[in-house]
Amino acid sequence: MTAILDSQTRCGVPIAIRGVAKTFGEDSDKPFRALNDVTTDIQAGEFVSVVGPSGCGKSTLMLMVAGLLPRSQGDIVIGGKPVVKPVTDVGIAFQDHLLLDFRTALDNVTLHADIRKLPKRQIEERARELFAQLRLEHAMGKYPRQLSGGMRQRVSLIRTLVHDPSLILMDEPFGALDALTRLQVRTDLENLWLRRRPTVLFITHSVEEAVGLSDRILVMGPSPGEVVEDIRVELPRPRPIVLGDVPEFAAYVDRIHRHFERLGVLHGIDGKGDHGQ
């Protein structure tokens, strides 16, 4: 682990997902098929987002990649190793920051050293470096209740990255933030990711957020979720904090929204897709 902490060119791991499906209640009278036959490859260091309607299996897919939920069928291989138990070299972030109220921001982050039995001094040095990069040095000694929602989410992001994982899994991490704070935290995440390029699987309902962050976007249809399109985002990095005026950005967003119209996820005023045409 020391080598990982000392690395300045940390790279992610490839992920191979083959025919993965998930059915809940398989032994019951009413099994529910949440995810159906997902197959894709994620290259080492890629930032891949998954977008789709509620209930399409986005979070289910992420939990199976993490090894936290068993698959009903198919295979997941990370860095050449089949996923048969919870993945260890991973950072996971959820919509809820999950910070402990009785620990300071810095202590919440360095808790990783105790849990993972890592060199505490190196973890603290890395934590202080990340706090500085996110302009949060003043928050290190404060408790979560003393921080704004955006600051708490940045601390959660630092905690996710502090041990330099080769894989980062994020499930709606900005969902509870206001629009302006989401823009800033999105930019912060991209800047941090660009420094070491871990592999990222990012689950979001926000099409704009996905286009703003991703190398590729997996567009999923309604339950049972399937990948209906795999879109490569050809936009230069780092991306501007305000993307709305970039014509290419708008084209990607429109392309994905059109998919959701055709799938019946979005409806026009008259109840029809394609704006009623």
pLDDT in tens, 160-176: 999 889 999 999 988 87
Q: What is the pLDDT of residue 275?
A: 44
In this predicted structure, the answer to whether residue 2 has a pLDDT above a threshold of 50 is: no
Highest mean pLDDT among 83-97, 106-120, 175-189, 217-231: 217-231
DSSP for residue 148: -
**In DSSP terms, which residues pair with 78 in a beta bridge?**
15, 81
Domain ranges within the chain, ordered by starting residue: 2-89+165-248
Q: How far apart are CA 144 and CA 165, in angstroms?
A: 24
* 2-89+165-248 topology per CATH: Rossmann fold (3.40.50)
Residues in CB range of 179: below 8 A, 6 or more apart: none
How confident is the model over 42-59, as pLDDT tens digits? 999 999 999 998 889 999
The answer to whether 45 touches 79, Cβ cutoff 8 Å, is no
Residue type, 240: P
Query: Pseudo-torsion of CA 240, 241, 242, 246, nearest 10°?
Result: 20
Instruction: Pick the more confident residue, 263 or 84.
Output: 84
